[in-house]
Amino acid sequence: MKYIDSNFNPHYFCNGEIIKIFELKKEHFSSGEISLNFNIIDMEISCNFFEEEQVQFTFNPRDVKNEKNFNYLLNFIRNISNISNTNFIITEENIKNYKIIEYNCKNKTFYDIDENSFNIDISSER
């Protein structure tokens, strides 16, 4: 959360109403009442908390209009994954077993749908 707060100026919502981060309680996150929205360049990202171990980030693929946007998105994924020490998977909505892209935080590598590895180099970007 600190990474998102310090880099993206998110808006927190509890049951659909904007709230301040200091008003949040741990129970809000585990109950699914909390969501947050923020932008990476001009891509809107929504985040929902379902369980302590599961956070869902949602974005509109149409917003990934060019390589720059794609690289910013991948850099965000890499940072969140490394900070949380958890692999990050991009899937189609509501289809957990269909991986489009996966970032493995242990070996610091992205994998595409065919499990080919690739990396990005925009370390100076947030």
The token duo for 23 is 């008003």
Predicted TM-score (pTM) of this structure: 0.80
- Cβ–Cβ < 8 Å for 59, 39: no
Looking at residue 118, its pLDDT comes to 87
Q: Which of 73, 69, 78 lies closest to 103 in space, CA to CA?
A: 78
Note whether 12 and 51 are same-domain residues.
yes
Say whether 106 sits in a helix, a strand or coil: coil
User: Each residue of 82-122: pLDDT tens digit?
Assistant: 999 999 999 888 777 788 999 999 999 999 989 989 888 76
Give DSSP secondary structure letters for 80-96: HHHHHT--EEEESTT-T
Q: Which of 81, 42, 83 lies closest to 59 in space, CA to CA?
A: 42
Of 90 and 27, the structure prediction assigns the larger pLDDT to: 90
Q: What is the tally of structural domains in the chain?
A: 2
Note whether 72 and 101 are same-domain residues.
yes
Note whether 2 and 52 are same-domain residues.
yes
Looking at residue 18, its pLDDT comes to 80
Domain membership of residue 51 as a residue range: 1-61
User: Each residue of 50-86: pLDDT tens digit?
Assistant: 766 778 889 999 999 999 999 999 999 999 999 999 9
